Structure 1
Amino acid sequence: MENIKLILDSSSNMETNEKENLQVVPLTISFGGQDYIDDQTLNMKEFLSNMNKNDVAGKTTCPSIHAWLEALEGTEKAIIITMTSGMSGTFSSALQAKKMYEEKHPLSKIIVVDSRSAGPELTIVAHGIEQMLKGNIRFVDLEGAIAEFRMHTHLLFVLQSLHNLSVNGCVAPAVAKIAGLLKINLIGTASKEGKLEPLTKARGMKKSIARSLQIHARRQLSWR
């Protein structure tokens, strides 16, 4: 198996020490005048508590070109998987880093993958690539194989709170408040363009999970 480094941004929820030849580059989340680095030092309990108290729109900053270059340092071959370009500049900054790194290291080969998604789908793609590498796939064939693999991965998510959507102007505050009081959850997916797309809603987490499983089963049938 070739020695190829996998590099993901922190929207994948993976950790650098989770696997050999894996590095995670953190995003930065800002709100309430404070910056939170999305790495292993982040106190998630404190972060979520502060986020839920915040009534000012926050923002997520993608990793800098320098951060990607640091992750690539000393690498001959690497695959970078980023969160969707439809919601972040992460893919763009990784592409620029790839170009700069390959200019400085002409023998290096870097693939940058736009996941058109976020969270667990990046992890699934990373695991898929690992299996391809174990099958001794040639590096030159990887980009096409990854594109084919991604055609069979899809993201479904459940939002228990619409607070952040209301703070960022996507949902009326009154609607978010009523949804919270009635425990109405939003079920959505990542569209083909890599943007969050609402599908339906359900009341309570139990019904939300059941509805998500129904959607998943229906999609599986359509893939056959």
Structure 2
Amino acid sequence: MHVLVGVAAALLLTGCSDRPNDLVDNRYYQDPESATTSAPPPSTPAPPPSPAAAPTTQRRAAELDGRAMTAQDLAAEGVQPSGSPTRTVQPTLPDCQVPLGDAQSGYQAGWAYPTGSTVRQYLAEYREKAEDVVAAARAKITCGTYKSAGTDVRVSAPVVTDKQVSWCATSSKQSACTVLEADGPVLSVVVVTATTEAKAKAAVTRIAPLAATALGRNS
């Protein structure tokens, strides 16, 4: 077991777009005797339809769904879903602007505790190994502090294990503890926010193994 973590709408225009503009040559204003009649040009046959593209988007979505934590996984935490999951790709994390690489697909889901603390999981699939993204995050999460909405945020030293990196970012308002883990081409990011670093760290320590189990579920 590992150790831890749109939809494009098409608009089809139909109707009169392929009809000639009858006003271009003023044909309605010509004398009937002088009007020249000619046979309409032969219509150009429509090209054959292209083969349907492979459903890679649906396949990736299904794969990420199968690696995400479920309500059953988090039952002991007493959390409730916070909104519906989305399939957006996240390019960076706010802490030290950690890069998350060029993902091919993404999945995000969130949960909330009765106290107001939150859990968020982000999954992303890459062409290459996701451990390269973990390595890049490990190299970047060294800023120490940064500002968010005018407030200083202190970033702890990262804790590094095989294919995993974790840290906490704490301000006067809240603390967020994050765990990144890679499994092949899939990256899992788990972020827990709470009023104090101790609470966020305790929660993410409990949840990280659950995310790791889910990450390896269909690998």
- Is this a same-fold pair by TM over 0.5? no
Higher strand share: 2
TM-score by length of 1: 0.27
TM-score by length of 2: 0.27
| Greater radius of gyration (CA) | 2
